[in-house]
């Protein structure tokens, strides 16, 4: 490959990495599946409350349908033989419904006024059996009306935001979330969100690894940039335990193939993925929001 082509791939990847803000990774086998391919009905039910944050500029509305513009991962310099490389990634953060018009995401996804005004929150951004998203319904596109609470603390590492949507969501139920106490050590987990900005993915076969910090716990979740703000569920109870916020580098550069390849760690290897405890969101404890 010539220098110019290699430079183009590098620039493309740098832009892509900046969008996703905080890295993640695969632990053990890659457990991610599209919603349509999941054989767990409970996880599919939980996925309905997942939303993707998508820039207004890539949403083209035509009647009651909206078409999302974007490029496939392989077109952005990711390795073609990695999973989901042909899928288009339009999202840059994830979120989940916790009230009729309330949504939780990562604090670093809502770190400025523009993060509220320039992006939409889209439900049902999920692939079909062919791995494609032909369109989403305009009725499933919401905007941020107000940031109720946001925190991005460099000391405690708390990283969360609670926002109010521009209207109530009437066609799906909010998720149940932990209100007191904390998850048990080594409890099984599942994460649902938008890794690398892709259509909704469900990834289970994960566990709590470290549980001694009052602000967050560490887990071996298969997650990537774009998963920031994803709900992390107790796989046994279906209750939201926290918000995925940061983790290990998610891609390594493959010099031989001149592309970026998924970083894979042992289940007990690498740094783990940090999950802000849902109980840290003070406004969720209030009865008047």
Over residues 249-274, the pLDDT tens digits come to: 888 999 999 999 999 888 887 889 99
Per-residue model confidence (pLDDT) at position 268: 85
Ordered structural domains, the chain, with CATH: 3-285 (2.40.10.120)
Residue 87 has pLDDT above 60, yes or no: yes
| Averaged pLDDT for residues 120-128 | 98
Span 61-72, pLDDT tens digits: 999 999 999 899
Residue 9 has pLDDT above 90, yes or no: no
pTM score of the predicted model: 0.90
Span 167-206, pLDDT tens digits: 999 999 999 999 999 999 999 999 999 999 999 999 999 9
284's tokens: 């969720």
């Amino acid at each position: 490959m010539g220098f110019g082509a290699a430079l183009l791939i590098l620039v493309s990847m740098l832009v892509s990495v900046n969008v996703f803000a905080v890295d993640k990774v695969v632990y053990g086998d890659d457990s991610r599946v599209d919603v349509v391919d999941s054989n767990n009905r409970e996880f599919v039910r939980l996925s309905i409350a997942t939303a993707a944050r998508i820039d207004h500029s890539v949403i083209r509305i035509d009647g009651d349908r909206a078409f999302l513009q974007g490029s496939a991962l392989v077109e952005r310099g990711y390795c073609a033989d990695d999973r989901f490389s042909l899928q288009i990634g339009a999202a840059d953060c994830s979120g989940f419904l916790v009230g009729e018009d309330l949504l939780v995401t990562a604090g670093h996804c809502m770190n400025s006024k523009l993060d509220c005004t320039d992006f939409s929150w889209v439900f049902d951004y999920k692939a079909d059996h062919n791995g494609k998203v032909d369109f989403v319904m305009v009725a499933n596109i919401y905007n941020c009306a107000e940031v109720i609470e946001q925190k991005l603390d460099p000391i405690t590492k708390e990283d969360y935001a609670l926002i109010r949507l521009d209207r109530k969501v009437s066609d799906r139920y909010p998720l149940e979330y932990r209100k007191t106490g904390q998850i048990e050590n080594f409890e099984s987990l599942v994460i649902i969100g938008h890794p690398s900005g892709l259509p909704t993915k469900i990834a289970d076969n994960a566990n709590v690894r470290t549980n001694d910090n009052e602000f967050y716990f560490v887990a071996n979740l298969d997650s990537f940039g774009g998963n920031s703000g994803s709900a992390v569920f107790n796989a046994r109870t279906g209750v939201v335990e926290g918000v995925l916020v940061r983790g290990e580098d998610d891609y390594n550069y493959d010099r031989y193939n001149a592309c970026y390849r998924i970083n894979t760690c042992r289940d007990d290897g690498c740094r783990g993925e940090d999950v802000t405890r849902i109980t840290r969101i003070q406004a969720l404890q209030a009865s008047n929001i």
